Amino acid sequence: MKTILVSRAVAKPGWWIFGMVMLAAAWWGQPLVDSGHFENHFFGVFWYSMIALGLIFWGLPGEQFTDGTILERRTMLLGLLPLWRKSEPVSAFERVELTQEPNVFGKDSVWLSLIKSEDGETTRRFVFAYFPASQRGIAKAQQMAGDLSQISGLPFAQAASEV
């Protein structure tokens, strides 16, 4: 039996919270459409066009998948139906790496990537997942990096933190 590893946006609480916030914002904007003032209708069209744009991005989450031989990035309709796929062989990479990147606002990010380098220079990168750089996020990232390394057969290398 083959082991697979999947990183899904719909598995993260932020995806669900964003969807609920969009629904609440749509409900909150009803008075703009129901009003008798022309100005409110203008703002209502703007309001709902921004909500529609947000829902388009929300409704097309991404996921990464591997079975140890291929890496696949998919864009899914509501996390259920694949709309777009891009595949690459795992053999095109040489290691699994965790990289911490400082953010201007909020916590730093930890990126789980598969790397190909030549002469010490990274030439290809496939980002498999990202996590906030909290204790829990780093623990999850290290666990997934170990799983990805085991499934893919590539060595796991912890990169130095970038400053």
Summarised one tens digit per residue, pLDDT across range 81-140 is 889 998 988 888 888 888 888 777 767 888 888 888 887 777 788 888 888 888 888 888
Give residue-wise pLDDT tens across range 17-60: 999 999 999 888 877 767 676 666 677 788 888 999 999 989 99
pLDDT the model gives residue 35: 67
Sign of the CA dihedral running 149, 152, 153, 157: negative
Q: CA-CA distance, 50 to 123, in Å (whole number)? A: 37
Q: Give the dihedral sign, CA 28/34/38/41.
A: positive
**Which pLDDT value is given to residue 162?**
45
How many residues make up the chain in this entry?
A: 163
Domain ranges of the chain: 1-78, 93-158
